[in-house]
Copies of this chain bind each other. A is one copy, B any other.
Amino acid sequence: MTGNIVGERFVLVSFGESHGKCVGAVVEGCPAGLKLSEEDIQKDLDLRKPGQSIVTTQRKEGDVVEIMSGTFRGYTTGAPIMAMVRNEDQKSRDYESLVSTPRPGHADATSKQKYGGFNDYRGGGRFSGRITATFVMGGAIAKKLLSETLGIEIIAYTSELGGLRAEKFTLDDARRNRYSNEVRSPNPIAAEEMRKKVIEMRGKGDSLGGVVECVALNVPAGLGEPVFGSLDSDLARMALSIPAVKGVEFGSGFASTRMTGTQNNDLFRMRDGRLLSDTNNAGGVLGGISSGMPLLYRVAFKPAASIAARQRTYDTAKGEEVDLVVPGRHDPTVVPRAVPVVESVTALVLADHAIRGGFITPVLKRVD
Protein backbone atom coordinates (compact mmCIF):
# COMPACT_ATOMS: atom_id res chain seq x y z
CA MET A 1 0.00 0.00 0.00
CA THR A 2 3.00 2.24 0.02
CA GLY A 3 3.90 2.17 -3.63
CA ASN A 4 3.32 5.86 -4.26
CA ILE A 5 6.52 6.97 -2.53
CA VAL A 6 10.00 6.29 -3.85
CA GLY A 7 13.57 7.22 -2.97
CA GLU A 8 15.62 7.30 0.20
CA ARG A 9 17.06 10.80 0.38
CA PHE A 10 15.51 12.52 -2.64
CA VAL A 11 12.00 11.22 -2.27
CA LEU A 12 9.07 11.50 -4.66
CA VAL A 13 5.52 11.20 -3.38
CA SER A 14 3.06 10.92 -6.24
CA PHE A 15 -0.66 11.59 -5.89
CA GLY A 16 -3.70 12.32 -8.00
CA GLU A 17 -5.79 10.54 -10.60
CA SER A 18 -6.39 10.88 -14.30
CA HIS A 19 -9.89 12.32 -13.91
CA GLY A 20 -9.76 13.59 -10.34
CA LYS A 21 -9.09 17.17 -9.29
CA CYS A 22 -5.36 17.12 -9.83
CA VAL A 23 -2.12 15.25 -10.16
CA GLY A 24 0.77 16.30 -7.99
CA ALA A 25 4.03 15.50 -6.34
CA VAL A 26 5.77 16.12 -3.07
CA VAL A 27 9.54 16.13 -3.31
CA GLU A 28 11.09 15.48 0.07
CA GLY A 29 14.81 15.82 0.61
CA CYS A 30 15.73 18.37 -2.02
CA PRO A 31 18.72 20.29 -0.65
CA ALA A 32 18.22 23.89 0.40
CA GLY A 33 19.55 26.63 -1.83
CA LEU A 34 18.51 25.47 -5.30
CA LYS A 35 17.05 28.25 -7.44
CA LEU A 36 13.67 26.92 -8.50
CA SER A 37 10.60 28.36 -10.16
CA GLU A 38 7.51 27.00 -11.81
CA GLU A 39 9.18 27.59 -15.17
CA ASP A 40 11.76 24.90 -14.42
CA ILE A 41 9.04 22.33 -14.03
CA GLN A 42 6.66 23.69 -16.66
CA LYS A 43 9.07 23.30 -19.54
CA ASP A 44 9.48 19.57 -18.88
CA LEU A 45 5.77 19.11 -18.34
CA ASP A 46 5.17 20.75 -21.71
CA LEU A 47 7.37 18.15 -23.36
CA ARG A 48 5.25 15.38 -21.87
CA LYS A 49 1.80 16.80 -22.39
CA PRO A 50 -0.50 15.38 -25.04
CA GLY A 51 -2.02 17.24 -27.93
CA GLN A 52 1.32 18.46 -29.22
CA SER A 53 1.24 16.69 -32.53
CA ILE A 54 -0.68 14.37 -34.73
CA VAL A 55 1.21 11.36 -33.43
CA THR A 56 -0.21 11.57 -29.94
CA THR A 57 -3.64 11.81 -28.38
CA GLN A 58 -5.65 14.94 -29.09
CA ARG A 59 -6.67 15.40 -25.47
CA LYS A 60 -5.79 18.97 -24.53
CA GLU A 61 -4.24 19.42 -21.14
CA GLY A 62 -3.29 22.81 -19.92
CA ASP A 63 -1.04 21.27 -17.29
CA VAL A 64 -0.08 24.50 -15.59
CA VAL A 65 2.02 23.64 -12.60
CA GLU A 66 1.89 25.48 -9.29
CA ILE A 67 4.51 25.13 -6.56
CA MET A 68 2.63 25.17 -3.27
CA SER A 69 5.39 24.75 -0.71
CA GLY A 70 9.10 24.28 -0.18
CA THR A 71 10.43 27.41 -1.87
CA PHE A 72 11.01 30.88 -0.48
CA ARG A 73 12.24 33.88 -2.42
CA GLY A 74 12.98 31.70 -5.42
CA TYR A 75 15.09 29.07 -3.69
CA THR A 76 14.35 25.69 -2.21
CA THR A 77 14.30 25.75 1.57
CA GLY A 78 14.97 22.11 2.41
CA ALA A 79 11.26 21.66 3.24
CA PRO A 80 9.01 19.39 1.16
CA ILE A 81 8.24 20.84 -2.26
CA MET A 82 4.65 20.28 -3.27
CA ALA A 83 3.80 20.91 -6.90
CA MET A 84 0.50 20.21 -8.57
CA VAL A 85 -1.45 20.51 -11.78
CA ARG A 86 -5.21 20.77 -11.81
CA ASN A 87 -6.92 18.43 -14.25
CA GLU A 88 -9.17 19.75 -16.97
CA ASP A 89 -10.83 18.50 -20.12
CA GLN A 90 -11.58 15.00 -18.87
CA LYS A 91 -14.52 13.35 -20.55
CA SER A 92 -15.36 11.05 -17.69
CA ARG A 93 -18.54 9.77 -19.24
CA ASP A 94 -16.51 7.90 -21.79
CA TYR A 95 -15.38 5.51 -19.13
CA GLU A 96 -18.56 4.70 -17.25
CA SER A 97 -19.33 1.82 -19.57
CA LEU A 98 -16.02 0.18 -18.79
CA VAL A 99 -16.68 -0.66 -15.16
CA SER A 100 -17.73 -4.19 -15.91
CA THR A 101 -15.78 -4.75 -19.11
CA PRO A 102 -12.03 -4.56 -18.49
CA ARG A 103 -10.03 -3.27 -21.44
CA PRO A 104 -7.42 -5.77 -22.65
CA GLY A 105 -3.87 -4.69 -21.86
CA HIS A 106 -5.07 -2.24 -19.20
CA ALA A 107 -5.11 -2.45 -15.42
CA ASP A 108 -8.91 -2.22 -15.21
CA ALA A 109 -9.36 -5.77 -13.95
CA THR A 110 -6.32 -5.93 -11.70
CA SER A 111 -7.01 -2.56 -10.08
CA LYS A 112 -10.62 -3.46 -9.46
CA GLN A 113 -9.49 -6.74 -7.92
CA LYS A 114 -6.92 -5.02 -5.75
CA TYR A 115 -9.11 -2.20 -4.46
CA GLY A 116 -12.38 -4.06 -4.16
CA GLY A 117 -14.06 -1.91 -6.78
CA PHE A 118 -13.44 1.36 -4.92
CA ASN A 119 -10.70 2.54 -7.27
CA ASP A 120 -11.36 5.59 -9.43
CA TYR A 121 -11.53 3.81 -12.76
CA ARG A 122 -12.12 6.93 -14.85
CA GLY A 123 -9.40 7.08 -17.45
CA GLY A 124 -7.46 4.44 -15.56
CA GLY A 125 -7.35 6.55 -12.38
CA ARG A 126 -4.04 5.98 -10.62
CA PHE A 127 -3.06 3.54 -13.39
CA SER A 128 -3.25 6.12 -16.14
CA GLY A 129 -0.21 7.32 -18.04
CA ARG A 130 -1.30 10.70 -16.72
CA ILE A 131 0.42 9.99 -13.43
CA THR A 132 3.77 10.21 -15.17
CA ALA A 133 3.21 13.97 -15.06
CA THR A 134 4.08 13.64 -11.39
CA PHE A 135 7.32 11.86 -12.30
CA VAL A 136 8.15 14.79 -14.54
CA MET A 137 7.43 17.30 -11.77
CA GLY A 138 9.87 15.55 -9.46
CA GLY A 139 12.26 14.79 -12.28
CA ALA A 140 12.49 18.41 -13.36
CA ILE A 141 13.64 19.39 -9.90
CA ALA A 142 16.11 16.50 -9.82
CA LYS A 143 17.47 17.46 -13.24
CA LYS A 144 18.10 21.01 -12.20
CA LEU A 145 19.78 19.87 -9.00
CA LEU A 146 22.05 17.46 -10.87
CA SER A 147 22.87 19.98 -13.54
CA GLU A 148 23.76 22.79 -11.17
CA THR A 149 25.76 20.72 -8.71
CA LEU A 150 27.47 18.03 -10.78
CA GLY A 151 26.97 19.18 -14.35
CA ILE A 152 25.06 16.00 -15.14
CA GLU A 153 23.17 16.05 -18.44
CA ILE A 154 20.45 13.51 -19.22
CA ILE A 155 19.50 12.79 -22.81
CA ALA A 156 16.78 10.31 -23.76
CA TYR A 157 15.34 9.70 -27.22
CA THR A 158 13.29 7.27 -29.23
CA SER A 159 15.84 4.76 -30.44
CA GLU A 160 13.28 2.42 -31.94
CA LEU A 161 9.63 2.84 -32.87
CA GLY A 162 7.44 0.12 -34.32
CA GLY A 163 10.56 -1.84 -35.21
CA LEU A 164 12.24 1.11 -37.00
CA ARG A 165 15.60 1.96 -35.54
CA ALA A 166 17.17 5.38 -35.36
CA GLU A 167 20.61 4.41 -36.57
CA LYS A 168 23.73 6.42 -37.26
CA PHE A 169 23.58 9.35 -34.96
CA THR A 170 25.84 10.99 -32.46
CA LEU A 171 24.98 12.05 -28.97
CA ASP A 172 25.15 15.59 -30.23
CA ASP A 173 22.52 14.75 -32.85
CA ALA A 174 20.35 13.39 -30.09
CA ARG A 175 20.82 16.45 -27.92
CA ARG A 176 19.88 18.71 -30.84
CA ASN A 177 17.12 16.75 -32.51
CA ARG A 178 15.14 14.74 -29.99
CA TYR A 179 12.73 17.52 -29.08
CA SER A 180 12.62 18.97 -32.58
CA ASN A 181 10.60 16.20 -34.15
CA GLU A 182 7.30 14.67 -33.20
CA VAL A 183 8.67 11.21 -32.47
CA ARG A 184 11.68 12.38 -30.44
CA SER A 185 14.15 10.63 -32.70
CA PRO A 186 17.81 11.59 -32.54
CA ASN A 187 17.94 11.26 -36.32
CA PRO A 188 15.63 13.40 -38.53
CA ILE A 189 15.54 10.87 -41.33
CA ALA A 190 14.52 8.04 -39.04
CA ALA A 191 12.10 10.48 -37.46
CA GLU A 192 10.27 10.94 -40.73
CA GLU A 193 9.96 7.18 -41.30
CA MET A 194 8.75 6.62 -37.77
CA ARG A 195 6.24 9.42 -38.13
CA LYS A 196 4.81 7.87 -41.27
CA LYS A 197 4.47 4.52 -39.59
CA VAL A 198 2.65 6.09 -36.64
CA ILE A 199 0.22 7.87 -38.95
CA GLU A 200 -0.37 4.66 -40.88
CA MET A 201 -1.05 2.79 -37.65
CA ARG A 202 -3.34 5.56 -36.42
CA GLY A 203 -5.31 5.13 -39.60
CA LYS A 204 -5.74 1.45 -38.81
CA GLY A 205 -6.75 2.20 -35.23
CA ASP A 206 -3.82 0.14 -34.05
CA SER A 207 -0.77 1.09 -32.00
CA LEU A 208 3.01 0.76 -31.86
CA GLY A 209 5.64 0.13 -29.22
CA GLY A 210 9.23 1.17 -29.13
CA VAL A 211 12.42 1.69 -27.19
CA VAL A 212 13.61 4.79 -25.37
CA GLU A 213 17.35 4.98 -24.91
CA CYS A 214 18.76 7.18 -22.17
CA VAL A 215 22.26 8.53 -21.66
CA ALA A 216 23.51 10.47 -18.65
CA LEU A 217 26.76 12.37 -19.01
CA ASN A 218 29.14 13.51 -16.29
CA VAL A 219 27.90 11.01 -13.75
CA PRO A 220 30.81 10.75 -11.31
CA ALA A 221 32.28 7.35 -10.51
CA GLY A 222 30.96 5.97 -7.24
CA LEU A 223 27.19 6.50 -7.37
CA GLY A 224 25.15 3.50 -6.29
CA GLU A 225 24.89 1.44 -3.16
CA PRO A 226 25.83 -2.23 -2.97
CA VAL A 227 23.55 -5.13 -3.85
CA PHE A 228 19.86 -4.17 -3.61
CA GLY A 229 20.54 -0.45 -3.72
CA SER A 230 22.65 -0.55 -6.84
CA LEU A 231 22.27 2.19 -9.41
CA ASP A 232 20.96 -0.21 -12.05
CA SER A 233 18.58 -1.83 -9.56
CA ASP A 234 17.01 1.51 -8.77
CA LEU A 235 16.89 2.61 -12.40
CA ALA A 236 15.27 -0.70 -13.38
CA ARG A 237 12.72 -0.34 -10.64
CA MET A 238 11.82 3.18 -11.69
CA ALA A 239 11.69 2.29 -15.38
CA LEU A 240 9.25 -0.53 -14.68
CA SER A 241 7.13 1.91 -12.69
CA ILE A 242 6.31 3.75 -15.90
CA PRO A 243 3.06 2.40 -17.36
CA ALA A 244 3.52 0.27 -20.53
CA VAL A 245 7.16 -0.56 -19.82
CA LYS A 246 7.96 -4.27 -20.21
CA GLY A 247 11.73 -4.36 -20.08
CA VAL A 248 14.96 -2.58 -19.36
CA GLU A 249 18.58 -3.25 -20.27
CA PHE A 250 21.92 -1.64 -19.49
CA GLY A 251 24.78 -1.21 -21.95
CA SER A 252 24.95 -4.22 -24.25
CA GLY A 253 22.02 -5.68 -22.28
CA PHE A 254 20.27 -8.66 -23.84
CA ALA A 255 22.75 -8.60 -26.71
CA SER A 256 25.54 -9.31 -24.22
CA THR A 257 24.01 -12.71 -23.56
CA ARG A 258 25.13 -13.72 -27.05
CA MET A 259 28.63 -12.30 -26.72
CA THR A 260 31.70 -13.84 -25.12
CA GLY A 261 33.54 -12.35 -22.19
CA THR A 262 36.34 -11.29 -24.50
CA GLN A 263 33.89 -9.40 -26.66
CA ASN A 264 31.89 -7.87 -23.85
CA ASN A 265 34.47 -6.80 -21.26
CA ASP A 266 35.34 -3.11 -21.44
CA LEU A 267 39.10 -2.73 -21.17
CA PHE A 268 40.32 0.02 -18.89
CA ARG A 269 42.29 3.02 -20.04
CA MET A 270 43.37 6.13 -18.18
CA ARG A 271 42.14 9.31 -19.79
CA ASP A 272 42.56 12.76 -18.26
CA GLY A 273 43.15 11.21 -14.89
CA ARG A 274 39.98 9.13 -15.02
CA LEU A 275 39.77 5.37 -15.40
CA LEU A 276 37.60 4.90 -18.49
CA SER A 277 37.22 2.45 -21.36
CA ASP A 278 36.90 2.62 -25.14
CA THR A 279 33.74 0.53 -25.25
CA ASN A 280 30.77 0.89 -22.92
CA ASN A 281 29.12 -2.51 -22.88
CA ALA A 282 28.63 -2.10 -19.14
CA GLY A 283 26.47 0.97 -19.72
CA GLY A 284 28.41 2.96 -17.17
CA VAL A 285 27.66 0.64 -14.25
CA LEU A 286 30.03 -1.95 -12.78
CA GLY A 287 28.98 -3.90 -9.73
CA GLY A 288 25.96 -1.62 -9.48
CA ILE A 289 28.13 1.48 -9.09
CA SER A 290 28.69 4.18 -11.68
CA SER A 291 32.07 3.75 -13.36
CA GLY A 292 32.63 7.24 -14.68
CA MET A 293 31.60 6.20 -18.20
CA PRO A 294 28.29 7.56 -19.51
CA LEU A 295 25.26 5.86 -18.03
CA LEU A 296 23.45 4.11 -20.88
CA TYR A 297 20.25 2.12 -20.70
CA ARG A 298 17.18 1.28 -22.73
CA VAL A 299 13.53 0.98 -21.80
CA ALA A 300 11.04 -1.18 -23.74
CA PHE A 301 7.52 0.17 -24.19
CA LYS A 302 4.78 -2.15 -25.37
CA PRO A 303 2.34 -0.93 -28.03
CA ALA A 304 -0.33 1.27 -26.44
CA ALA A 305 -3.09 -0.93 -25.07
CA SER A 306 -5.90 1.40 -26.16
CA ILE A 307 -6.74 0.55 -29.74
CA ALA A 308 -9.78 1.18 -31.88
CA ALA A 309 -10.20 -2.47 -32.83
CA ARG A 310 -13.02 -4.56 -31.48
CA GLN A 311 -11.56 -6.84 -28.79
CA ARG A 312 -12.93 -9.72 -26.81
CA THR A 313 -13.30 -9.24 -23.09
CA TYR A 314 -15.55 -10.51 -20.32
CA ASP A 315 -18.50 -8.50 -19.04
CA THR A 316 -18.67 -9.20 -15.34
CA ALA A 317 -22.12 -7.62 -15.07
CA LYS A 318 -23.64 -9.64 -17.90
CA GLY A 319 -21.58 -12.71 -17.07
CA GLU A 320 -20.53 -13.35 -20.65
CA GLU A 321 -17.80 -12.71 -23.13
CA VAL A 322 -18.43 -9.56 -25.15
CA ASP A 323 -16.78 -7.57 -27.88
CA LEU A 324 -15.52 -4.24 -26.68
CA VAL A 325 -14.69 -1.08 -28.58
CA VAL A 326 -12.71 1.18 -26.27
CA PRO A 327 -14.04 4.75 -26.48
CA GLY A 328 -11.99 7.89 -25.89
CA ARG A 329 -8.96 9.45 -27.52
CA HIS A 330 -5.78 7.41 -27.62
CA ASP A 331 -2.14 7.68 -28.49
CA PRO A 332 -1.18 5.39 -31.35
CA THR A 333 2.07 5.21 -29.40
CA VAL A 334 3.20 6.44 -26.00
CA VAL A 335 6.88 6.33 -26.88
CA PRO A 336 7.48 9.97 -27.90
CA ARG A 337 5.73 11.30 -24.80
CA ALA A 338 7.66 8.82 -22.68
CA VAL A 339 11.00 10.37 -23.62
CA PRO A 340 10.84 13.17 -21.00
CA VAL A 341 9.43 10.66 -18.52
CA VAL A 342 12.47 8.40 -18.89
CA GLU A 343 14.70 11.42 -18.45
CA SER A 344 12.76 12.27 -15.30
CA VAL A 345 13.03 8.90 -13.63
CA THR A 346 16.73 8.82 -14.47
CA ALA A 347 17.16 12.18 -12.79
CA LEU A 348 15.21 11.09 -9.73
CA VAL A 349 17.41 8.03 -9.23
CA LEU A 350 20.64 9.90 -9.84
CA ALA A 351 19.67 12.70 -7.46
CA ASP A 352 18.80 10.20 -4.76
CA HIS A 353 22.10 8.37 -5.16
CA ALA A 354 24.13 11.54 -5.43
CA ILE A 355 22.78 12.65 -2.06
CA ARG A 356 23.13 9.19 -0.51
CA GLY A 357 26.75 9.03 -1.67
CA GLY A 358 27.58 12.49 -0.35
CA PHE A 359 28.10 13.93 -3.85
CA ILE A 360 25.47 16.57 -3.14
CA THR A 361 25.20 18.10 0.33
CA PRO A 362 21.95 18.89 2.18
CA VAL A 363 22.66 22.60 1.84
CA LEU A 364 24.06 23.86 -1.45
CA LYS A 365 25.44 27.10 -0.07
CA ARG A 366 24.82 29.43 2.85
CA VAL A 367 23.20 32.86 2.95
CA ASP A 368 22.87 35.32 5.79
Instruction: Decide yes or no whether A84 CB sits under 8 A from chain B.
Output: yes
Q: How far is the CA of A361 from the CA of B1 in the complex (A)?
A: 11
A227 to chain B, nearest CB (A): 5
Q: How many residues of A contact B (CB 8 A)?
A: 154
Binary contact readout A42-65 vs B (1 if CB under 8 angstroms, 0 otherwise): 000000000000000000000000
Instruction: Decide yes or no whether A142 CB sits under 8 A from chain B.
Output: no
Task: Name the B residues within 8 Å of A84 (CB-CB).
Answer: 68
A242 to chain B, nearest CB (A): 9
B363 touching A288, Cβ below 8 Å: no
Which positions 266-308 of chain A face chain B at CB distance < 8 Å?
A: 266-270, 275, 277, 281-283, 286-291, 300-307
Instruction: Decide yes or no whether A346 CB sits under 8 A from chain B.
Output: no
Task: Name the B residues within 8 Å of A207 (CB-CB).
Answer: 260-262
Instruction: Decide yes or no whether A169 CB sits under 8 A from chain B.
Output: no
Task: Name the B residues within 8 Å of A249 (CB-CB).
Answer: 246-249, 254, 300
A26 touching B28, Cβ below 8 Å: no
Q: How far is the CA of A100 from the CA of B275 in the complex (A)?
A: 12
Instruction: Decide yes or no whether A362 CB sits under 8 A from chain B.
Output: yes
B78 touching A268, Cβ below 8 Å: no
A317 to chain B, nearest CB (A): 8
Instruction: Decide yes or no whether A69 CB sits under 8 A from chain B.
Output: yes
Instruction: Decide yes or no whether A177 CB sits under 8 A from chain B.
Output: no
B110 touching A290, Cβ below 8 Å: yes
Instruction: Given contacts A1-B78, A15-B80, A247-B248, list 7 more A-B pairs with CB under 8 A.
Output: A2-B8, A32-B119, A109-B275, A118-B363, A206-B262, A230-B240, A249-B300
8 of the cross-chain contacts (CB-CB < 8 Å) are A8-B8, A14-B80, A24-B68, A78-B114, A78-B226, A246-B254, A254-B254, A267-B313
